[in-house]
Amino acid sequence: METLECITTRKSVRRFRPDPIPEEDIITMLEAAAMAPSGANQQPWKFFVVRSRSRKEEMVDIVKASCEDLPSLLEGVVEAPVQFGKMIKKRLYVVSLFFAAAPVVFVVCVKQEENSLLKCYTNKGVSRLEAYKKFGYTAVLSCSAAIENLLLAACDLGYGTCWMNIPFMAKDALEDLFAINPPWEILALVPVGIPAHDPRKPKRKKLEEISVFIDE
């Protein structure tokens, strides 16, 4: 498949067939991810390749447990936190647990290490957030490029993927499960497998809405 064809046909898949993925295809995806550009060529990424069914079940249990905490977290923030929490929890189950059905789940980690410029600011009492605003989230940007390469390589090989935002409420517990410690942290989950459905591709904004040409 041509590069532009992969870019235009790729879509998020949330239902997978159980067929195992050959080792050589997994290696191809990892090699594509590793070719991504990165700030100062730091290559601040690491990929846990989860094929173990029992480990995926542990991940599901962790995500479910984090969902159970939602009502208490919502107290004082929204009206009727218990009812609202139940509604959100039901929705989170739908969008956060499907990864376990994929034959392979990539747990993508980023190395969030302060460089000397950031340290100059944080040592003077500037918060990490403000320091990052000045110098950018280089490691996250670099790792995101690697994830996109992985998605496109998977598409080229005929697999479906979904770039998941961890789910983020379970981030700390998932990091404990995989013994991930600072400066490393989980950035995303990417389940991969042969699609078990053909999801509708969401409409994209028109180019006029997202682009500005500056000629003068």
pLDDT for res 83: 66
As a whole number, mean pLDDT of residues 16-41 equals 98
* Per-residue pLDDT reduced to its tens digit, 97-135: 999 999 999 999 999 876 777 778 788 888 878 888 877
As a whole number, mean pLDDT of residues 19-41 equals 98
* Per-residue pLDDT reduced to its tens digit, 142-201: 999 999 999 999 999 999 999 999 788 899 999 999 999 999 999 999 999 999 999 998
Give this prediction's pTM.
0.90
pLDDT bin (cut points 50, 70, 90) of residue 215 is very high
Domains in the chain and their CATH numbers?
3-53+102-196 (3.40.109.10)
E-strand ranges in the chain read 45-50, 104-111, 160-161, 184-193
pLDDT for res 154: 98
Is the pLDDT at 80 greater than 70? The verdict is no
Is the pLDDT at 8 greater than 70? The verdict is yes
Is the pLDDT at 71 greater than 70? The verdict is no
pLDDT for res 92: 78
With contact defined as beta carbons under 8 Å apart, do 147 and 163 qualify? Answer: yes
Cα Rg of the chain (Å, integer): 19
With contact defined as beta carbons under 8 Å apart, do 115 and 128 qualify? Answer: no
pLDDT for res 159: 98
Is the pLDDT at 74 greater than 70? The verdict is no
pLDDT bin (cut points 50, 70, 90) of residue 1 is confident
As a whole number, mean pLDDT of residues 78-102 equals 76
d(CA 130, CA 114): 13
Is the pLDDT at 68 greater than 90? The verdict is no
Q: What are phi and psi of 72, to 5 degrees?
A: -70, -35
Q: Give the mean pLDDT of the chain.
A: 90
